Amino acid sequence: MSNNELSTRLESLEIRLMHQEAAIEELTQTLLQQEQLVSSQVTAIERIESMMRALSSSPSAPPGDEPPPPHY
């Protein structure tokens, strides 16, 4: 192999490595955004679950004590 061929191969490998590093950085940023989104969704779900528990444990009148709907 001549120096020119080795130089060309080395340059090609360096370009491929540069593109791969850029792709990895882009994937890392996307993963971080997704992690933040999932975290905020978990927080929202926990808040909704807490609200649902509070509503289900609140005292309500038994069904027999409620007046009939207006169409009866």
* Average pLDDT value for residue range 30-51: 97
Structural domain includes residue 65: no
Alpha carbons 16 and 26: distance in angstroms, whole number: 15
- Model confidence at 29: pLDDT above 80: yes
Residue 66 in domain: no
What is the mean pLDDT of the segment spanning 23-37? 98
Distance between CA atoms of 16 and 9, rounded to whole angstroms?
A: 11
58 within domain boundaries: no
Hey, what amino acid is at 70?
Answer: P
Residue located via tokens 């169409």: 71
Q: Is the pTM of this model over 0.75?
A: no
Number of compact structural domains in the chain = 1
Domain that holds residue 49: 3-53
Residue 10 resides in a domain: yes
pLDDT for 58: 65
